[in-house]
Amino acid sequence: MRVCYTNDFHGREPLYERLDELLRLEAPELLILGGDMFPDGQLDDPAGTQGAYVERDFIPRVRRWRAARPALHVACILGNHDWLCTEEVLRAHHEAGDVALLDPRREWSLNGTVFLGYSPTPPTPYWVKDFERLDLRGDVPPEMGGAVWDPHSRSVRAIDPAEHFTATSSIESELSRVIAPQGRWIFVCHSPPYGTHLDRLPRLRSPVGSRAVRRFIEASQPAVTLHGHIHESPLVTGRYFDRLGRTLCINPGQDREMFAVLFDSDDPAGTLRHTVLT
Ligand SMILES: [Zn+2]
């Protein structure tokens, strides 16, 4: 199965236009979008801004792609710039069959390959905290606060970081409850694994990926893992893929040119190519 994967458009229309063109040229059977695909929602009304973008721009675009090529499937996860109210919108479109919203606990299969998805990242300086978690149990909470979507009041609520992060499960705890599928499977996870070619920022010596994600990949050995989040990493390390045991881990990065990868799920390592990098 021909797979196209990209990530972190942050609502930038020129990147979507390049993706329109890539889908026309390459005709993949599956497009996977790895989180942070939408513009940042406004703090006073994320549902009316980011949620509305998904309804008015993103989903109609997905429908145009699929109308032009009925064999195309589209799957996605969210990222740390996305709000919980946006997940609600995508879940409704998952139920309607427009797009597959990948989940860590519910397997999604296509052409003999199983997919799981996981959106959360370790804490960042950005103020939306819906998809941030402490990486490992017992990590020190960040000092910087932020905001979450409260599904009960359907409004944004400011959080105290110490209180919020200790009351929310860590990435380590959440991934410890994930059951690895039988057979060939692909893990789509916004945060790259710690200490690889995929999690480096310019001018920062230490890696910024997730230790818990790395341990999960090492223990469960999916065929392929697809990441994003650290846009600059391939330009810092010169590599957009790495290996953890038998697993091929990929972070295309993102830039003004559209960074995406294409591969065949029957032979990911032998067919992997990047739209910009070599
Ligand atoms: Zn991003």
Segment 11-56, tens digit of pLDDT: 999 999 999 999 999 999 999 999 999 999 999 999 999 999 999 9
Instruction: Kindly write down the DSSP assignment for every residue of 116-157, as one continuous string.
Output: EEE--BS--SSSB-TTB--SSTTPPPPS--EEEEETTTTEEE
Q: Given this model, what pLDDT does residue 201 score? A: 97
What is the C-alpha separation between 170 and 122, in angstroms, rounded? 9
3-state secondary structure of 187: strand
What is the C-alpha separation between 158 and 147, in angstroms, rounded? 4
Ligand 1 centroid to 36 CA: how many Å? Answer: 5
Ligand 1 centroid to 80 CA: how many Å? Answer: 7
Q: Given this model, what pLDDT does residue 65 score? A: 98
Cα dihedral 139, 226, 119, 117 in deg (nearest 10)? -120
Ligand 1 centroid to 231 CA: how many Å? Answer: 6
- Phi, psi at 158, each rounded to 5°: -70, 145
3-state secondary structure of 274: strand
Q: Given this model, what pLDDT does residue 159 score? A: 97
- In the numeric block, which tokens belong to residue 141? 């909470």
Ligand 1 centroid to 73 CA: how many Å? Answer: 23
* Chain mean pLDDT for the chain: 97
Mean local confidence (pLDDT), 139-166:
97
What is the percent of the chain with per-residue pLDDT over 70, rounded to a whole number? 100
3-state secondary structure of 166: helix
- pLDDT tens digit sequence for 127-150: 999 999 999 999 999 999 999 999
What is the C-alpha separation between 207 and 112, in angstroms, rounded? 34
Is the pTM higher than 0.85? The answer reads: yes
Q: Given this model, what pLDDT does residue 68 score? A: 97
Ligand 1 centroid to 97 CA: how many Å? Answer: 26
- pLDDT tens digit sequence for 213-250: 999 999 999 999 999 999 999 999 999 999 999 999 99
What is the C-alpha separation between 241 and 217, in angstroms, rounded? 14
Q: How far is CA 86 from the centre of its chain?
A: 14
Ligand 1 centroid to 261 CA: how many Å? Answer: 16
Q: Given this model, what pLDDT does residue 134 score? A: 98
Q: How far is CA 83 from the centre of its chain?
A: 13
